[in-house]
Amino acid sequence: MNPVAQAWAYTLARVAGLAALGVLLGLMLGSVIAGLLVMLSIALTWQLFNLYRLDYWLRARNLREPPNAGGIWGQVITQVVRLHRRKRFHKQRLLDVFRELRHSTAAMPDGVIVLNANNEIVWFNRMAMRLLSLRRRVDIGLRISNLVRDPRFVQFLDKADFSAPLEVPHANRDGLALSFQVVPYGRQQRLLLVRDVSRQVALESMRKDFVANASHELRSPLTVITGYLETLVQDTDIDPMLQGPLGEMRRQSDRMNAIVRDLLELSRLDAGDAEAAYDTIDVAGLLAMLNKDVTARPRHPQVLLSIESPAGLLGDEAEVHSVFANLVENAVKYTPDDGQVSIRWWVDAQGEAHLSVTDTGMGIPAEHIPRLTERFYRVDAGRARTTGGTGLGLAIVKHALEHHGARLHIESEEGVGSTFSCYFPARRVWQGGRQSTIDAAR
């Protein structure tokens, strides 16, 4: 028989014994009911006494020994003791895990802050305390935006788009730049990772300054060299044997000038504000002008211009012109004369504007597409040099689109052609375009 069955048998036997004693006592007193009532009172008093002992022990079970009781009361106390030991064991395990977590996060080189659904601080490690000057007894429970007072950081949290980290300079410490990355988890909780990126920001600034300064310094001597080469090429007294080398030198100097020009454009985009201006841009007129420039060339593929919306854009006209011109120029450059280039402009149902440039050129292998917007990256270096490309056009397109909150999407298939698409957010769409301009473009 198992212990529980034995305990119940013991308890029932005790009840039966008390009932028998009650009957005997009742016979002696001349009233069986009176005898049973006396025994029932004794049994009830005993049960209340056991309940009192159990309650007394439960109130301070860590300091007292469990009461010694038989029957079902003993089984209840045994079960409580087992549950208490199990709870204490799991509690100790959780404490050990939490201590290990605290020690590991304290050793991390990045700051870690746990935020609740209201962006209030729940916990942070030592590195976060050092980077953001947090105080454990004061700042727990405060909103993180009250401690990191940067409009860009507040907008970053409110926007809730955590696909990319945010880099901002420290408000009170010169030369310190911080990167914030948010990882949502659990029930609307967030893990805020804070990293010191001062060295990376300084190196990036040095790189940008070097490119800008080197480009400016190269511009003057290249202008002089190009001028002399133009003079020599046009000089009829030059030995005909030198005409070929001089022509090649002139082409290479023109290519160098194009590279310097694109580098200066990239430097300007890097040094500009994070967001472009909101000037009105007549997209239909801009595309009509680009179409006219292409069709005016002696040799060119067929160009189909489709403008399906009168909407324009709100942005920096020079940057938008650079984006559209680079995409159209690339499509024309890598499409044979018997091919076709399609330019399409439209606005979708969500109010976002789109420009797509599709060509029937040789296409791009899939493994090269993710790296096309890198500076000086070439799918085929020989082909790029033959066509006069600098390797910076798509990098300029990417940076200019980022200034407008837009993005570039590339689709290509070898032997079929490529499609370069720009997606502009609804806030950049200007509904004041002129229908007459569209008709002229058509």
Contact 416, 360 (CB under 8 A): yes
As a whole number of angstroms, the longest Cα–Cα distance in the chain is: 154
Six-digit token pair at 420? 């370069």
Q: Identify the residue with better confidence: 391 or 165.
A: 165
Q: Is the pLDDT of residue 442 over 50?
A: no
Six-digit token pair at 156? 């970053």
Q: Can you give the pLDDT at residue 387?
A: 55
CATH 1.20.1740.10 fits 201-271, yes or no: no
- Topology adopted by domain 108-196: Beta-Lactamase (3.30.450)
**Which contiguous run of DSSP H or E holds residue 333?**
helix 317-333
What phi, psi does 342 have (nearest 5°)? -110, 125
User: What number of CA atoms fall less than 13 Å from residue 82's CA on the CB side?
Assistant: 6
End-to-end alpha-carbon separation of the chain, Å?
97
Give the residue extent of every domain in the chain: 3-100, 108-196, 201-271, 279-441
Six-digit token pair at 308? 């399906």
Q: Can you give the pLDDT at residue 437?
A: 45
Which of 2-16, 87-101, 291-305 is predicted with the least confidence, judged by mean pLDDT? 2-16
Q: Is the pLDDT of residue 436 over 50?
A: no
DSSP 421: E
Q: Can you give the pLDDT at residue 305?
A: 92
Contact 125, 111 (CB under 8 A): yes
> At 306, which amino acid appears?
S
Distance CA 179, CA 196 (A): 6
Q: Can you give the pLDDT at residue 382?
A: 52
Q: Can you give the pLDDT at residue 380?
A: 64
DSSP 11: H
Contact 288, 305 (CB under 8 A): yes
> At 371, which amino acid appears?
R
Contact 121, 144 (CB under 8 A): yes
Q: Is the pLDDT of residue 43 over 60?
A: yes
Six-digit token pair at 170? 């420290």
Whole-number mean pLDDT of the chain?
82
Order of strands, sheet of 121-124, starting from the edge strand that comes earlier in the sequence: 121-124, 111-115, 189-196, 177-185, 166-169
The tens digit of pLDDT for each residue in 172-219 reads: 677 788 889 988 887 788 888 998 888 887 877 777 777 777 777 777
Comparing C-alpha atoms, which of 394, 356, 349 is closest to residue 374?
A: 394
Distances (CA, A) of 149 to 91, 174, 339: 39, 15, 56
The tens digit of pLDDT for each residue in 231-290 reads: 887 877 777 787 788 888 888 887 787 777 777 776 777 666 567 888 999 999 999 999
Which residues, in sequence order, are bridge partners of residue 302? 340
Q: What is the second-level CATH architecture of the domain 279-441?
A: 2-Layer Sandwich (3.30)
Q: What is the pTM of this model?
A: 0.56
3-state secondary structure of 253: helix
Q: Can you give the pLDDT at residue 440?
A: 43
**Which contiguous run of DSSP H or E holds residue 115?**
strand 111-115
Distances (CA, A) of 426 to 215, 302, 352: 36, 31, 4
The tens digit of pLDDT for each residue in 308-324 reads: 999 999 998 988 998 99
Which residues, in sequence order, are bridge partners of residue 413? 417
The tens digit of pLDDT for each residue in 94-116 reads: 888 878 877 777 777 788 888 98
Six-digit token pair at 96? 């050990």
